[in-house]
A and B are shown apart, each in its own frame.
Chain A
Amino acid sequence: DAKTTQPTSMDCAEGRAANLPCNHSTISGNEYVYWYRQIHSQGPQYIIHGLKNNETNEMASLIITEDRKSSTLILPHATLRDTAVYYCIDPNSGGSNYKLTFGKGTLLTVNP
């Protein structure tokens, strides 16, 4: 089972930053944390991943705590198209190396 913990749902106003937290307290020292999202009726989509340093790409920023037990995905200016389920993944959560096991994720609803 996934060893990450995320809130079930969150709301965000359009144009504001969306901050999605994830607890991954059992992640191993050399394992990356991955974020994916799934827009309704589509396949999951990769967003970003990180090890210990903060990461940024064209989609989002990822802030990882120094102890690596948690991280926050930031969508700096959320749009209605960002409404989706966001998954935080520890690739070892399935019990073997690099097995992307999805939990229930956070349903982010961006409101106009």
Chain B
Amino acid sequence: DAGVIQSPRHEVTEMGQEVTLRCKPISGHNSLFWYRQTMMRGLELLIYFNNNVPIDDSGMPEDRFSAKMPNASFSTLKIQPSEPRDSAVYFCASSLWHRNTEAFFGQGTRLTVV
């Protein structure tokens, strides 16, 4: 398996533009997580899904952020409109929905909003 695949790896956009980050989880995994990492705040959990349903989105910073999981093999995180303070590395992770298992992380998308 190729692991969790995120795209793009790098994104530079202007303030006010819409940004869409993509994630393909590991086949067979039914849990998906989106994280954001900055120097100031570390790794923050934004949202997680179980069987394509959002379970907890309490980490989503504001209404400009939205996440979808239309099927078991694809998820998106959208920021509209983007702001410079959204600049961060965004990670997607997947796992089996089971307490005693591990989560696998993608390589991340480095977003820069100028």
The answer to whether A and B come from one shared complex is: yes
A residues at B contact (CB < 8 Å): 31-32, 34, 38, 42-46, 49, 87, 91, 94, 96-104
A99 with B105: CB separation less than 8 A = no
A43 with B91: CB separation less than 8 A = yes
From B40-48, B66-74, B77-85, give the one contacting chain A.
B40-48
**Bound complex: CA A59 to CA B4 (Å):** 21
The answer to whether residues A44 and B45 also contact, given A96-B56, A97-B99, A98-B99 and a CB cut-off of 8 A, is no
Q: Closest B-chain residue to A102, C-beta based?
A: B43
A43 with B108: CB separation less than 8 A = yes
The answer to whether residues A43 and B56 also contact, given A32-B99, A99-B45, A100-B33 and a CB cut-off of 8 A, is no
CB neighbours of A34 from chain B (8 A): 102
Interface residue B104 (Cβ < 8 Å from any Cβ of A): yes
Contact of B100 among A49, A97, A101 (CB under 8 A): A49
**Bound complex: CA A102 to CA B56 (Å):** 16
